[in-house]
Amino acid sequence: MSSSNLPASIPPSSRLLSTADFRRLADVPLEAEWFANIDNPQTRRAYRNALEDFIKFTGIERPDEFREITRAHIIAWRDDLKYRELSGTTIRHRLAALSSLFEYLCNKNAVTHNPVKGIKRPSVEGYEGKTPAIGDHQARGLLDAPNNISLKGKRDRAILATLLYHALRREELCKLLVKDFKHERRGVAHLKVSGKGGKIRYIPLHPAAGGLILDYLEESGHGFDLAGALFRPIRNNRTGTLHTAITADMVYKLVRSYSAALGFKIGAHALRATAATNALDHQADIAKVQEWLGHANIATTRIYDHRKTRPQDSPTFKVSY
Contact 197, 307 (CB under 8 A): no
Q: Which phi and psi angles does 201 have, rounded to 5°? A: -135, 150
Catalytic-labelled residue, pool 92, 94, 232, 295? 295
Side chain identity at residue 68, one-letter code? E
Helix or strand or coil: residue 193?
Answer: strand
Catalytic-labelled residue, pool 169, 175, 232, 306? 169
Active site residue 295: yes
Active site residue 269: yes
How far apart (Å, rounded) are the C-alpha atoms in residues 97 and 154? 40
Active site residue 183: no
Kind and range of the H or E element at 73? helix 71-83
Catalytic-labelled residue, pool 182, 190, 269, 302? 269
Other beta carbons less than 10 A from residue 294's beta carbon:
21
Kind and range of the H or E element at 202? strand 200-204
How far apart (Å, rounded) are the C-alpha atoms in residues 206 and 202? 12
Active site residue 140: no
Catalytic-labelled residue, pool 196, 201, 206, 302? 196
DSSP 200: E
Give catalytic residues, as residue numbers. Answer: 169, 196, 269, 272, 295, 304
